[in-house]
Amino acid sequence: MSEILSPRFEEFYATHGVHPPFKAEPIRAGRNSEVQRLSNRDGQWIVKHYFHHANDQRDRLGTEFGFLQFFNQYGMANLPRAVGMDRELNCALYSLLPGSRPKKMEASHINQAAAFILELQRFRKMDGATQLPLAADACLSWQKHFDILACRVERLLQINPDSELKSAAYKFVRDTLAPAWQRLLEKLLNGIAVEQRQAILAQEERILSPSDFGFHNALEFEQHISFVDFEYAGWDDPAKLICDFISQPEVPITPEQGRQFNDAILAGLHDDGAIAHRVTQLLPLHRLKWCCILLNEFRNEDLQRRQHAGVNGSDLLEIQLQKARTYFDTHLIQYSWASAQE
């Protein structure tokens, strides 16, 4: 019997007006949490059982539930409704949105994505908005952008090369990603004064961000796009959101679509040029970050999280290493060691 159909979980559902008998169907909608569709004769819901690891203290449950609850109270449409949460069970119950992941990105999809982000900003001055947390890995200064990538590269250099595949991943990080990061960092530091690197974005310069934002977390129904998965959401630098949206490798967009999204967000935020400058300078950094993220499964903690979410571990490491190599060759080859020697 699935854990989410155990008596303790059924008690939690009943507390929120959802009663048995149930049918539970696994949904591989996320890579961090176990997600299932819960059905009874009255309707359908989403149950998320969040991953927890001693070395990963992120409050995914509180972040996502609180973010959605904030926007639910002000009536923002096209978001899941936060029905209930249970800290002891480390799970939450949400309304089910219709649709499926979009397969082919068109200009209309990009427009809807930008409109969604700008719609979130209409609530930034509402009661409770400033109490929302910072996004996971929020970058409120140039230096923080640098630190996030430096940390990711350093963690991957701790890969234990105790197998042929792990050894190949370690060498790729050591010989390709780490030198590329040093070349990129030198280029960035050359044009930014120390004071500018340390300056913190004022509150009015920050945005409410879903953080892990892209069409991998989207549902399309009757040509309308909704977004889900807010485990990392919060206040952040708009330049980081733009860079991440452009760089996201799971459901990629074209360079033209990236420019379309960038231009729409900058226009909607009435950018004076500061955000655009950060995007131009930091896009390669965040592309390199996503190359590192593709190798997360080589760290035991991240592999356990994927397995908790129901991702099949068979051939996973080999697939992720190939994805990282392809991503680097597609977007970052100019920072390779070989290029530096030419």
Omega before 21 within 30 of 0, i.e. cis: yes
pLDDT exceeds 70 at position 225: yes
The partner residues of 156 in beta bridges, in order of sequence, read: none
Element (H, E) at 263: helix 255-268
How confident is the model at residue 338, as a pLDDT?
56
Long-range contacts, 175-180 (Cβ 8 Å, 24+)? 175/337, 176/328, 176/336, 176/337, 177/153, 177/288, 177/291, 177/292, 177/328, 178/153, 179/335, 179/336, 179/337, 179/340, 180/288, 180/328, 180/332, 180/335, 180/336, 180/337
Q: Which pLDDT does position 302 carry in this prediction?
A: 53
pLDDT at residue 304 in the model: 56
Side chain identity at residue 203, one-letter code: Q
204 CB burial (10 A radius; 0-12, 13-18, 19+): exposed
User: Cα separations (Å) of 38 from 23, 84, 231, 307?
Assistant: 6, 14, 20, 21
- At 10, list the tokens: 């059924």
Hey, how many other C-beta atoms are within 10 angstroms of the C-beta on 249?
18
Give the model's pLDDT for residue 265: 98
The pLDDT of residue 311 is: 52
Instruction: Please give the model's pTM, rounded to 2 decimal places.
Output: 0.92
Report how far apart, in Å, the C-alpha atoms of 287 and of each of 116, 136, 180, 281 are.
23, 17, 11, 11
Domain limits, the chain = 3-95, 107-341
CA distance 63 to 131: 11
Give me the mean pLDDT over the 270-297 stretch.
Answer: 97
134-175 pLDDT per residue, tens: 999 999 999 999 999 999 999 999 999 999 999 999 999 999
Q: How many CA atoms lie within 13 A of 256 on its CB side?
A: 5
Please give the pLDDT value at position 103. Answer: 86
Q: Considering the chain, what is the average pLDDT of its residues? A: 91
Could you report the per-residue pLDDT of 302-330, keeping only the tens digit for each?
Answer: 555 555 444 555 588 999 999 999 999 99
Measured distance CA(334)–CA(342) in Å, rounded = 11
Up-side HSE of residue 285: CA atoms within 13 Å toward CB? 28
Question: Which residues, including other chains, have CB under 8 Å from residue 35's CB and lie 6 or more apart?
Answer: 26, 27, 28, 29, 46, 47, 48, 49, 309, 310
Q: Are 279 and 264 in contact (CB under 8 A)?
A: no
**Residue 151, SS3 per DSSP:** helix
At 29 the pLDDT is: 54
**Nearest Cα residue to 140 out of 188, 203, 192, 96:** 203
**CATH architecture, domain defined by 3-95:** 2-Layer Sandwich (3.30)
pLDDT > 70 fraction of the chain, expressed in percent and rounded: 91
CATH code of the domain made up of 107-341: 3.90.1200.10
Q: Do domains 3-95 and 107-341 have the same CATH topology?
A: no
What is the distance between the alpha carbons of residues 174 and 149, in angstroms, rounded to a whole number? 14
Please report the pLDDT score of residue 194 as a whole number. 86
Can you give the pLDDT at residue 316? 87
> What pLDDT is recorded for position 191?
80
CA distances from 253 to 31, 116, 280, 323 (A): 20, 17, 17, 16
- 8-65 pLDDT per residue, tens: 999 999 999 999 898 989 886 556 688 999 999 999 999 999 977 666 678 999 999 9
- Phi, psi angles (nearest 5°) of residue 100: -140, 165
Q: Which residues, in sequence order, are CB contacts of 240 under 8 Å at separation 6+?
A: 138, 139, 145, 209, 282, 286
Compare 77 and 51 and report the one with higher pLDDT.
Answer: 77
Angstrom CA distances, 260 to 106, 138, 320, stand at 11, 24, 29
- 3-state percent helix, strand, coil for the chain, nearest multiple of 5: 50, 15, 35
Report how far residue 54's alpha carbon sits from residue 48's, in angstroms, rounded to the nearest whole number.
Answer: 19
d(CA 323, CA 340): 23
Read off the pLDDT band of 1 (50, 70, 90).
Answer: very low
What pLDDT digit, counting tens, does each position of 90-101 carry? 999 999 999 999
pLDDT of 4 > 80? The answer is: no
**Residue 77: is its pLDDT beyond 90?**
no
